[in-house]
Structure 1
């Protein structure tokens, strides 16, 4: 994490069309409140884009850049903010800028799919980064030299990265913690109604399919078998027989890999699938429960244990 050494640090947020507004605003709000609390001599910020015209976020809200991308302050930290689709839509002009700034030895951060742009520019080979989980398959396939972490953020080296969303606030709060007076982080978090400052080592909330990735061939085969039989569940005895181990050995392997029993992993995978139908709202909860082999009351109990909310409440809260 870059030190200010007593001088003001200026953050330049570089946005492109389709950028993630939540990641952008989460980081900016930490700086805004910090300045409001008296840190105007410590950090400032501006917004730039390749063209000086409104840039539309993924939520269709446009912002107007207020900085000159060709005349950056000497002490600037560049923060690249992209969004879903960065893997499918190249941005050669931005990538060229990234390489140019890197040759100038400028620190470059990335929020959300901004990590993809750093990878495309070749700046994070042999580095460990914290991309959004949706970008992980792309990075693994096309940029195998990039080290992948499922953490909320990674702040080491010249290229701190975060998974996006609210994690951008956590990354920025870490900067404030290292560069502002004692107590300011807590004051900022309080005013933004952030319930505690999260450590970067905390993991992202991942979908079931990614939560249960493993390099153990037997466990991998068992999980894939579970995924192929979400609707009509197999017994653990059947799964163990199919992958060539005893049920007791299967349970031991799952506890080693996931710190969970095979039954709990299977329930989470099935509930993850059932939840899509719950949120879709097209069928009754009783029908969904019966399709997955549960009585209505038992379905609600398992659902609540997995997701922390009853299916009826989950459906009610769906936008």
Structure 2
């Protein structure tokens, strides 16, 4: 993403208009947890707001039921060819996206792009968008199992290890519960942080993760079984964050020279051993800052830093913000502190009588008796 793109002003939404309508395209073997993580925040947004902010439909290629990766069969609301007034299209992937994406999927997604839809994905759904040529030069997230194969198949896609990525009119999330975080961020952008916070409270979700949070990619997945000494050294590092082990001592533990150790890290992890060790310590510090009441001095100590100023300097250089700002919630990347994702907004035609009914309307009607109904006042 270029600096101009990341800092562009966000389009203003007409929040008094019709609900935003999303179409969730379900690929064969999609993961049910990712779909639920994406839809449930929308349901709760409607409930807390007391009105229909979002409407959604599940779609398949032919309108026939599709099986999730856990074997459950899901009956969609419609075929992807059903004329619907969509603002967002979200591709839901799962196991084997290489075999689930058809030419018809590709052509349909390209047609949605021409109509200026917001395009997104969860789990491995970004494979479909990439195959349609719709993620070239966009920052993109995908489940870590597909990172290597996707990079090889689509070299123009800017792959990241972030839990989710929001780049202009594209939004992509890795698997599991990451779509929940992405949707909470999108809802917060559209309707305010109070609503996003209210949803996380209803889901007993302790912390809404942001675009800086990364997937924990198992090193064994990156290296395979070909570098047992390197895996052993990293395991030693991870077990000794409070009292870091000297590099010479690490090398002796696995019976290699320091030069060999440095070559292994440069070749397979693309950095020096000391840099990798620092990254582990700083990542642990970030977790403690966000998830515990420990003081910054205590965190510096348990992460192996000899002084608080040195810890703060290293933290700011690596994450772009000082530890104090991170704890206060000002953890945006440098250059983006006051910018919101610059989305393209297109309002479609009003829903017609020919459109299938959305489950959002029934869910909202069912929620009217809940004590939280309309509990968040939207000042828009």
Q: Quick check: TM above 0.5?
A: yes
Identify the residue that residue 103 of structure 2 maps to in structure 1: 92
Identify the residue that residue 5 of structure 1 maps to in structure 2: 14
SS for the counterpart of 2:206 is coil
Identify the residue that residue 211 of structure 2 maps to in structure 1: 200
Asked whether the 8 Å contact 1:130–1:162 carries over to 2, the reply is yes
Q: Kindly tell me: are residues 156 and 42 of structure 1, through their superposed partners in 2, closer, same or farther at Cα, counting changes over 3 Å?
A: same
Identify the residue that residue 156 of structure 1 maps to in structure 2: 167
- Aligned counterparts of 1:259 and 1:85: Cα–Cα separation in 2: 35
Identify the residue that residue 288 of structure 2 maps to in structure 1: none
How many Å apart are 1:133 and its aligned residue?
0.5
- Aligned counterparts of 1:258 and 1:124: Cα–Cα separation in 2: 33
Show the 5 A alignment for 1:262-273.
none
Residue among 244, 251, 265 paired with 1:236: 251
SS for the counterpart of 1:110 is strand
Identify the residue that residue 118 of structure 1 maps to in structure 2: 129
Identify the residue that residue 227 of structure 2 maps to in structure 1: 224
Show the 5 A alignment for 1:122-137.
122-137=133-148
- Aligned counterparts of 1:240 and 1:227: Cα–Cα separation in 2: 12
Identify the residue that residue 311 of structure 1 maps to in structure 2: none
Identify the residue that residue 43 of structure 2 maps to in structure 1: 32
- Aligned counterparts of 1:90 and 1:75: Cα–Cα separation in 2: 21
How many Å apart are 1:41 and its aligned residue?
3.3
Structure 2 residue runs without a partner (length 5+): 1-9, 237-248, 264-270, 281-380
Deviations 1:272-298 (A, max 9, x none): xxxxxxxxxxxxxxxxxxxxxxxxxxx
Deviations 1:218-261 (A, max 9, x none): xxxxx93615879xx99713322672869xxxxx9312134269
User: Normalised by the size of structure 2, how large is the TM-score?
Assistant: 0.59
Identify the residue that residue 209 of structure 1 maps to in structure 2: 220
Asked whether the 8 Å contact 1:225–1:239 carries over to 2, the reply is no
How many Å apart are 1:184 and its aligned residue?
1.3
SS for the counterpart of 1:18 is coil
Identify the residue that residue 58 of structure 2 maps to in structure 1: 47
How many Å apart are 1:160 and its aligned residue?
0.6
Residue among 275, 289, 305 paired with 1:256: 275
CA RMSD in angstroms comes to 3.1
Q: After the TM superposition, which segments of 4 or more aligned residues of structure 1 sit over 3 Å from their partners?
A: 1-4, 71-75, 209-213, 227-230
Does residue 199 of structure 2 align to residue 188 of structure 1?
A: yes
Deviations 1:89-108 (A, max 9, x none): 44221111111211222221
Asked whether the 8 Å contact 1:12–1:79 carries over to 2, the reply is yes
